[in-house]
Amino acid sequence: MIVRLRDLSKNLNNNINFYLLYGPNTGLIDETLRDIIRPNFTKNIFNYEESEILQNISNFEESILNKSFFDDEKLIIINRGSDKILESIKNLMMKNITETSIIIKTNNLEKKSKLRNFFEKDKNSICVAFYEDNYQSLITITQKFFREREIKISPESLNCIIERSKGNRINLTNELNKIANFCQDKKSVEIDEILKLTNLADNYNFSELVDQCLIKNKKQTLNILNENNQSLEDNISLIKTFLYKLKRLQKLSTELENKKNLDLVISSYKPPIFWKDKEVVKKQLRTLSLKQIKKMAQNINELELSVKKNSQISNQIVNNFIYENLNRSNN
């Protein structure tokens, strides 16, 4: 059955042993597991990847069903679940297990997903969707963080932290923890300190590289590219930086088609664009059409899959993508 996040704690331990937590907000899923679900269970916790279970489903099911007298109760968390695990879950539900609770956590599931549909309709299980944070929810988290620590911070600095976290709750948490360590004996934090501390979850050079690529500044883009020898993790971070900036450009470009006034569109965007970035964002919107932005975002998603499948040549794949976009005509 579908349960809203705010009602989840009321539905725990109601003789329900199966949970599906899904959605793009993986940071909030992790927080919910840590702060709401785990404190309600005194059971031993075991983490599995779905791929591990699928290699030997019968062993997995037997380990749950063939419980010895000395076994403790268990909480099993299955990461990156998909439709492939559904039949095994159904088998376990039919056995009416009571000593073991199973939580499946995964990224976004489409409406046609069999796993999602089953959990939404089944009255003996719980299904919770975790949607992406919006600007207001991230502001609330950040304001609460500084209020609890009695640290003064300007609205400009708050916006800067959120902007540099790319609208991602995990990035935001990491940046806030970094600031907390810096502010242990301080009662205020200034914008210059924020800028030094929040060189983003990814490298500043990556953000600069993406900005220059999106305005087709070939010389500067290649200079930054040649200064860095990226690892696979760096390339994934670079791809996510591209995707974040392209999503923002797509929203801005759509607004621009309606309002026509570039300055108004930039100034009214949420989360607010940091003042130092406004000029380069304007250049990007003048350089790329909405159609080009959408196409590039689609190519970025394909690029991420290609890099993960061919990790040994990830640098070559990413560099080729950048070269192609620098040389692609705007027509």
* Residue where a domain stops, chosen among 129, 163, 181: 129
Say if pTM beats, i.e. exceeds, 0.75.
no
- Is 187 in the same domain as 240? no
pLDDT value, residue 43: 66
- Is 57 in the same domain as 90? yes
209 contacts 224 by C-beta, under 8 angstroms: yes
Q: At what angle do helices 232-259 and 290-309 cross, to 10 degrees?
A: 160
- Is 238 in the same domain as 318? yes
Nearest to 250 by CA among 207, 220, 305, 288: 288
CATH at residue 217: 1.20.272.10
- Is 286 in the same domain as 210? yes
Residue with tokens 């599906």: 20
* Residue where a domain stops, chosen among 197, 229, 247: 197
Q: How far is CA 148 from CA 83, 179, 246, in A?
A: 42, 14, 34
- Is 116 in the same domain as 36? yes
- Is 178 in the same domain as 255? no
Q: What's the whole-number mean pLDDT along residues 213-224?
A: 89
pLDDT at 83 over 90: yes
Confidence of residue 81 (pLDDT cuts 50, 70, 90): very high
| Phi then psi dihedrals of residue 74, to 5 deg | -130, 145
| Digit-coded pLDDT (tens) for 142-166 | 999 999 888 898 888 888 888 777 7
CATH at residue 181: 1.10.8.60
- Is 220 in the same domain as 181? no
- Is 217 in the same domain as 171? no
- Is 225 in the same domain as 295? yes
Q: How many domains, in total, are found in the chain?
A: 3
Residue 109 domain boundaries: 5-129
116 contacts 22 by C-beta, under 8 angstroms: yes
pLDDT value, residue 50: 92
- Is 42 in the same domain as 98? yes
199 contacts 57 by C-beta, under 8 angstroms: no
Burial class (CB in 10 A: 0-12, 13-18, 19+), 132: middle
Report the length, in residues, of the chain: 331
pLDDT value, residue 254: 93
Confidence of residue 216 (pLDDT cuts 50, 70, 90): very high
Nearest to 99 by CA among 59, 65, 61: 65
Query: What is the DSSP secondary-structure string of 37-71?
Result: IGGG--SEEEEEEHHHHHHTHHHHHHHHHS--TTP
Mean of per-residue pLDDT scores for the chain: 85
Confidence of residue 95 (pLDDT cuts 50, 70, 90): confident
Rounded to whole angstroms, how far apart are CA atoms 149 and 188?
A: 10
* Residue where a domain stops, chosen among 94, 129, 164: 129
| Digit-coded pLDDT (tens) for 248-298 | 999 999 999 887 788 889 888 877 787 778 899 999 999 999 999 999 998
Percent of the chain residues past pLDDT 90, beyond the cut:
31
Structure token pair of residue 141? 């988290």
CATH at residue 35: 3.40.50.12060
- The answer for residues whose C-beta is within 8 angstroms of residue 188's C-beta and 6 or more apart is 151, 152, 153
- Is 218 in the same domain as 260? yes
pLDDT at 117 over 70: yes
pLDDT at 309 over 70: yes
Burial class (CB in 10 A: 0-12, 13-18, 19+), 123: exposed
163 contacts 197 by C-beta, under 8 angstroms: no
Rounded to whole angstroms, how far apart are CA atoms 32 and 126?
A: 14
Nearest to 106 by CA among 169, 20, 18: 20
- Is 146 in the same domain as 71? no
